[in-house]
With several copies, the nearest count.
Chain A
Amino acid sequence: MKKINRLAIANRGEVAVRIIKACEELGIETVLLHSEADMGSRAYRLATKKICIGGAQTNQSYLNIPANIQGALASGADAVHPGFGFLSENADFAEAVEKAGLIFVGPSANSIRLLGDKISCKQLAAKAGLPLIPGYSGKDQSLDCLISEAEKIGYPVIVKAAAGGGGRGMKLIKNSTEAKELIESAQRESLSAFGSEQVFLEKYLDRAKHIEFQIFGDSSGRVVHLFDRECSVQRRHQKIIEEAISSSLSEDLRKKMGEAAVSLATLGKYKGAGTVEFLLQDGKFYLLEVNTRLQVEHSVTEMVLGVDLVKAQILTAQGDFIFKTQDHSPRGHAIEGRVYAENPYQGGIPSTGLLGHVSFPEGPGRRFEYGFESGDQITSFYDPMIAKVIVWDESRPRAIQKMIKVLEGSVIFGVHTNIPYLIAILKHPEFINGTMTTRFIENNFAEGLKVPALAEKEKILFEKVLSAHKPSLSLQDAQGGIKTNSPWNQSWRIL
């Protein structure tokens, strides 16, 4: 019921830009709560105000609750948007924001605790009668106990961060010999990314699709769903390509899963935008988890449904917006490709550096969300996702075709990106048929991409390019970049 005039953003990168754009359109000023490392970023340049809240390390800034609260208060903001990742699913943060007299753009701390914590969520889901994946989510977090529970479930088993999301703090344990190492690794990643090392175990479903439902709750307690997305294309449990709506659901299944999502969210008194994730295997669906925040892939839902979820979040936080599900039906098909700063020819190894020329080929039904521009540094401190490319078209085959063209027309100089990897995925028959499971990458791209042979015209071009920049330089094919351990090993030269 209270109009937001100035909104603080406790985040960075492309989602911070996304929130700034929404605020601009709503006539709301923005305050970027940023780390020392993010003064060369698009969000920094676009925000009305910016406040540095700490060092580059996430625990000093983006995961630092008091620093964020203090920054928001100092800036005169009346609301805080947590974006995704970082503190977005941290109930203590939501609580601290409200205690400071500010509006938290998201669900209540209580809802986050109930649904965001993977373990309590499973308990609630069990009450609501949702099908669950067999697993262990007990309080005993000792290594011995976790290992013995994993044995009981039977390998392969997944270990996950209870407070996690986005594939971080998540490991697939294939056999007992790697159990100890991977559980410890998951605990460390979880602590670093979410500030808690609690994990749980689940039986690994080895031919499942990842299907999720966008849910939205208004302030009156009414929850609707805004249809589904499919995110089966994952690597190391990190989504790479997402689509709306899934091409794998029958109308009956869509109805049942949507109802399950809404009933769980309603039980959790959910407010704002959230996502209920499922695995679908052999026609049966299982609750995976609930993300109590905006999702990276919210854009595909926006494009097929004609909604603006970020504006809806903000308007709901003000108390003046209600989604009516009957107004919405999906139209056409949308695909999102996450652009990671990594080298696809070296198994996705992170790539950092100074960004040079960056350009995206705009056009009808294309959307580009990015946090960094020419002259900005991509550092190793944060998530490697530097941009999202989203396309919409009238059908899935046309959307795939468009996405390939759009990725081929996207230019990023200064860091390696997974764009060639995304294109290879989009051209794979399994993806085109829509039959991919969460093991699609493992089954088809385990080896990463091979550096393609250079055509004669490319050799001539490179020679010309090098002589233009500096005469008498030798040439190394570095589409695959410098080879990790021996940069001189696999070079070739024009003689």
Chain B
Amino acid sequence: MIEAKKIKFHFDNHDYEALTQKIGSSVWVYFQGKTYSIPATDQNLKSRHKSKSANAGVTAILSPMPGKITKVLLSAGQNAEVGQVVIVMEAMKMEYTLKSELKAKIKKVMTKVGDQVALGQILIEFESSSNKAGEKK
């Protein structure tokens, strides 16, 4: 692993120094008591952005964190209400419920109880034209 680097810059008659390190696809920065992380793979982001725009009619619940699915409460063809719990997952010994943010019909359930899922993995696909779906409680 490459060490963190110091970066110096000048602004408004002052010299500043920050600490920075690229880890995976993010660049981390520490400056004046605060830590920032900046995604450094805009290629990747752009392509995902485009593919989403292209399928504007489909929305989904993505996994908000890596973890284990402990409960799936609805199945394909069923309707989800706004605020209804659709998925329960566990991460770092805490349980998180994923609720639907829209009233919509489920097109596909893409996970099952016991699955280890990754951050951003699609869990539920809706048939809907809304573009908001799934939020952590």
Please list the residues of chain A having a beta carbon within 8 angstroms of any beta carbon in chain B. 58, 168, 181, 185, 188-189, 192-193, 236, 341, 346-347, 349-354, 356-357, 374-375, 379-384, 408-409, 411-414, 416-417, 419-420, 456-458, 460-462, 464-466, 468-470, 473-479, 481-482, 484-488, 491
Contact = CB atoms under 8 A, between A and B. Distances in A.
Contacts of A416: 37
Given A382-B93, A481-B37, A488-B45, 14 more contacts: A192-B93, A350-B92, A379-B66, A380-B65, A380-B66, A416-B37, A419-B35, A456-B12, A458-B31, A465-B20, A476-B42, A478-B26, A484-B136, A487-B39
A380 B92 contact: yes
Contacts of A408: 33-34
B67 to A, nearest CB: 5
A168 B94 contact: yes
Contact of B92 (A346, A384, A465): A384
B18 interface: yes
A478 B120 contact: no
B62 interface: yes
B88 interface: yes
A484 B132 CA distance: 11
10 contacts: A346-B136, A350-B94, A352-B65, A380-B68, A408-B33, A461-B18, A478-B37, A479-B34, A484-B64, A488-B52
A409 to B, nearest CB: 7
A479 B30 CA distance: 10
B134 A168 contact: no
Nearest to B18: A461
A410 B46 CA distance: 33
A487 B24 contact: no
B133 interface: yes
A378 B46 CA distance: 28
Contacts of B9: 457, 460-461, 464
B36 A192 contact: no
A350 B39 contact: no
A284 to B, nearest CB: 31
Contacts of B23: 353-354, 356, 413-414
A14 to B, nearest CB: 14
B47 to A, nearest CB: 10
B135 interface: yes
A382 B94 CA distance: 9
A193 B11 contact: no
B42 to A, nearest CB: 4
B3 A461 contact: no
Contacts of B65: 349-352, 380
Interface in B91-137: 91-97, 116, 119-120, 132-136
